[in-house]
């Protein structure tokens, strides 16, 4: 039986209008994506490739100019409310209040989503344990390490028990140990809780270790997609970095020559 797709996009186009006399920006140029439920999918690609724009369209924060997409079975433009109820989103920047503790941040987020006091306390407790934040739960967020803060961001994305979680660069700036610890949490979200995770990253080793499949985005299109093992085998590459340079590098080279 074919697995259900938690995320599917067909021919997404996003054109940002040009401002102050500048030409419009074609951020997405016919992007396709298929992510089976319960898997971790990595979006890779150079700065400006369209990864964040893709995430924004799929999370209903931004409307596509053309193309269609479904998340958790709901159309992002026709059923935006249903999509929002099914997803969590951790943006490229932080979402936590620096003046509150992790526990207070989580309780506040749960209460904003309609939970009563007791239910919000309980949800915060679960998520602190889930993300290994127990020891730091009562410290002011501004005093926490980058890795701990980023875990709190992910915990905030999980408040509503989403079926699909979008993580935009969850490990940027983290040291190797914090990164490995984050990988473990993300992996267990998919394996134990059947959450589908779509994450963008610039760390190819991270994608190689963590993702069931990756899509390499360049100039608003997917130029290669598949499991890291299959992508490496296709071109006889030793590492995902070589795969990345093989595919994404072509467009750079072509542009440099023009
Ligand atoms: N609100 C906006 N208005 C105009 N142009 C935008 C806007 N947001 C993004 N862009 C442009 O769209 C293109 C894709 O940007 P996007 O942020 O999706 O890239 P990215 O792959 O996430 O890059 P990075 O790796 O740097 O995060 C870039 O050329 C960017 O400058
Ligand atoms: Mg981005």
CATH of the domain at 58: 3.40.50.300
253 CB burial (10 A radius; 0-12, 13-18, 19+)? exposed
DSSP state of 24: P
DSSP state of 219: T
Proportion of the chain in helix, strand, coil states, percent, rounded to 5:
40, 25, 35
* Residue 97 DSSP SS3: coil
More confident residue, 132 or 71: 71
Mutate to test the pocket of ligand 1, among 15, 16, 63, 220 (most ligand atoms within 8 A of CB): 16
Nearest CA to ligand 1 atom 2: 16
Q: What is the tens place of the pLDDT at every residue in 220-257?
A: 999 999 999 999 999 999 999 999 999 986 655 555 55
- Report if residue 157 sits inside a domain: no
Ligand 1 centroid to 41 CA: how many Å?
Answer: 20
Q: What is the mean pLDDT of the chain?
A: 93
- Report if residue 252 sits inside a domain: yes
- Report if residue 65 sits inside a domain: yes
- Report if residue 33 sits inside a domain: yes
Say if ligand 1 is within 6 A of residue 25 CB.
yes
Q: Which atom of ligand 1 is nearest to the CA of 49?
A: 21
pLDDT at 170: 93
- Report if residue 59 sits inside a domain: yes
pLDDT at 19: 87
- Report if residue 172 sits inside a domain: yes
CA angle 158-50-210, nearest 5°? 50
Mutate to test the pocket of ligand 1, among 50, 55, 63 (most ligand atoms within 8 A of CB): 50
Nearest CA to ligand 1 atom 12: 27
pLDDT at 94: 80
Ligand 1 centroid to 30 CA: how many Å?
Answer: 15
Confidence of residue 123 (pLDDT cuts 50, 70, 90): very high
pTM of the complete model: 0.92
CA angle 47-52-56, nearest 5°? 160
- Report if residue 32 sits inside a domain: yes
Query: E strands within the chain?
Result: 5-16, 25-36, 40-44, 66-71, 74-75, 87-90, 164-168, 196-200, 213-218, 221-226
pLDDT at 249: 64
Nearest CA to ligand 1 atom 7: 16
Range from 117-126, 131-140, 174-183 carrying the lowest mean pLDDT: 174-183
pLDDT at 105: 98
pLDDT at 1: 47
Domain residues for 59? 5-95+165-257
- Number of domains, the chain: 1
Residue 139 clears pLDDT 80, i.e. is over it = yes
Nearest CA to ligand 1 atom 18: 50
pLDDT at 56: 96
Q: What is the tens place of the pLDDT at every residue in 60-108?
A: 999 999 999 999 999 999 999 999 999 999 998 888 999 999 999 999 9
- Report if residue 115 sits inside a domain: no
């Amino acid at each position: 039986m074919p697995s259900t797709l938690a995320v599917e996009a067909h021919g997404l186009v996003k054109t940002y209008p040009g401002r102050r006399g500048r030409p419009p920006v074609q951020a997405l140029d016919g992007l396709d994506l298929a992510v089976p439920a319960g898997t971790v999918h990595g979006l890779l690609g150079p700065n400006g490739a369209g990864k964040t724009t893709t995430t924004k369209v799929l999370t209903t924060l931004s409307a596509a100019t053309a193309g269609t997409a479904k998340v958790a079975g709901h159309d992002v433009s026709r059923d935006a409310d249903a999509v929002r109820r099914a997803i969590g989103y951790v943006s490229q920047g932080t979402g936590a209040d620096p003046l509150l503790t992790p526990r207070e941040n989580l309780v506040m987020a749960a209460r904003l989503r309609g939970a009563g006091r007791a239910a919000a306390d309980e949800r915060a407790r679960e998520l602190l344990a889930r993300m290994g934040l127990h020891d730091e739960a009562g410290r002011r967020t501004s005093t926490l390490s980058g890795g701990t803060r980023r875990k709190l961001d992910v915990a905030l994305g999980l408040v509503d028990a989403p079926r699909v979680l979008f993580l935009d660069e969850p490990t940027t700036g983290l040291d190797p140990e914090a990164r490995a610890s984050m990988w473990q949490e993300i992996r267990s979200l998919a394996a134990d809780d059947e959450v589908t995770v779509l994450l963008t990253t610039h760390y190819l080793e991270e994608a190689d270790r963590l993702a069931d499949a990756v899509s390499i985005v360049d100039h608003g299109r997917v130029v290669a997609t598949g499991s890291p093992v299959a992508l490496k085998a296709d071109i006889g590459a030793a590492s995902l970095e070589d795969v990345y340079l093989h595919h994404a590098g072509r467009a750079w080279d072509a542009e440099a020559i023009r």
